[in-house]
Structure formats: structure tokens, C-alpha cells
Amino acid sequence: MSFDPELFIHAMSHRAPPYILEHLNLVLIPMCIAVLIALPTSIMLTRPAYRRFTSRIMAVFNAGQTIPPLAVIAIFFPFLGLGYAPAILALSIYALLPIARNTITAISSVPQDVKEAARGMGMTPWEVLRKVELPLSVPGIMTGIKTSAVLTVSTAVLAALVGGKGMGAVIFAGINFFQAELILAGTVYIGIMAVLIERMLTLLEWYLSPSHLK
């Protein structure tokens, strides 16, 4: 079957755009939730009191990543039914993992001697965290957030299966009707959104990075 450029242009200009905002919601809201939950929790997990649990927790996180996004999206459906809420919930949980993993790794790999020097100068543990560990971990943490964001843009496509709509609606329509033009249009917009979000987060990272890393 041949590719119909007119249909493609129509899809790009009329069919897909209405779903852009919806899709962005499906990305930004879960990302905010994921960051708000994952960051404090991960930071807490790197504290000496919880250090013994860290490797076990990381093992659970790694195991969790083996569950395919389709399953994660679907899991809440039986309990919460169709709609926006279960989609957001599932996407939030899926977005948690990369952020948590990268944050824990980044904070744990701050060199020991830098931390000890800070303690030796009289900083309280809280100050060491705020002024030493966190600034030095910014690149690693931002990588986790960026990975998670790009992943969520992709995974949010599946939200269409559980009633969350978004750009997935266009793509699945294309699959059901065997229309590559729709699939392509939807994919192009996903790509654009992913690149834009990644660029914005890179700017944010630059803004937050301590000056010596710039």
C-alpha cells in the first residue's frame, strides 16, 4: 500500500495537534509526581541510617524495570477502571524508577574525601548534603530525570489503551486502520515533544549546576 502525502499533512496539521496538550499533561503531571516522590526518597535512602537497605532496594528497582510499560499501565486498570487517573498513576510509577536509580547512584558516588573535608570543616550533615552532595550530584540526577522524561513521553502513548488519550490515540488509530500516515504523524510529534523536553531540562541542568562543571 502506498504512502499518501496529503493524508500525512492533514494528520500533521489537523488530526494530531488536538492531542498535543493532552499528551503533555500525561507527561508533565506524572513527571512532577515522580520527581516529588523519588527525589526525597532517594536522598533519604543514601543517608547512613539506611545504607544497609540501599543494595536491596536497588535490586528491587532493577527488577521493577523489567516489567514492560504495557503491564504497568494495565495493572491499575482493574482497580481504577479506565480514564485519566489510572493512566497518570501508572505513568508516575513508571517514571519513578530511572529517577530513583540515578539519584541514588549520583549521590553515592560523590567522593568520600570531599564529604569528609566538609565535615572536617564543621558542616553539619544537613549542610554537607545541601552544599556538597547535592550540587555535585546535579548532573547524575538530571540525567535520571531526562531519561525518565523521554521514557514517559514514549510510554504515555500507551495511556490511550486505558482511556487516557494523548498522542497514542492517533497512533493506535493508525494501527487499527492500517494508515502509516497517522502513525508517522503521531510519532513525529512524540519526537518533537521528547526533544523539546530534553532541551528544556538540559537548560535547567545548566542553571542548577555548580560553576566548575559548566
Partner 1 sequence: MDIINFTLNNAGLVLEYTFNHLSLVLIVLLISLALWISTGLIISWHDRLAGTVISLSNILFCIPSISLFGLFMTMPGFGLGRNTAVVVLVIYAMMPLVRSVYLGVKSVDASVVDAGKGMGMTPLQILLQIRIPMAWPMIFAGMRVSIVIVTGIATMATFIGEKNLGRLIHQGITRGDSDMIITGAIIVACMALLLDFIMARIQRRVISPGLRFDT
DSSP sequence for 121-160 = TT--HHHIIIIIIHHHHHHHHHHHHHHHHHHHHHHGGGGG
Judged by CB under 8 A, does residue 110 bind partner 1?
A: no
Judged by CB under 8 A, does residue 32 bind partner 1?
A: no
CB contact set of 76 (below 8 Å; sequence gap of 6+): 86, 89, 90, 162
Residue 137-176 contact track with partner 1, rule CB under 8 A, x = bound: -------------x---xx-xx--xx-----x--xx-xx-
One-letter amino acid at 188 equals V
Q: Cβ(101)–Cβ(144) under 8 Å?
A: yes
Judged by CB under 8 A, does residue 126 bind partner 1?
A: no
Instruction: Look at residues 34, 49, 52 and name the one whose alpha carbon lies nearest to residue 101.
Output: 34
Question: Looking at 56, 63, 113, 207, which residue binds partner 1 (CB under 8 A)?
Answer: 63
Q: Which three cell numbers stand for residue 144?
A: 535520571
Residue 173-202 contact track with partner 1, rule CB under 8 A, x = bound: -xx--xxx--xx-xx--xx--x--------
Question: Looking at 67, 114, 192, 200, which residue binds partner 1 (CB under 8 A)?
Answer: 67
Binding site for partner 1 (CB under 8 A): 1, 63, 65-72, 74-75, 77-79, 150, 154-155, 157-158, 161-162, 168, 171-172, 174-175, 178-180, 183-184, 186-187, 190-191, 194
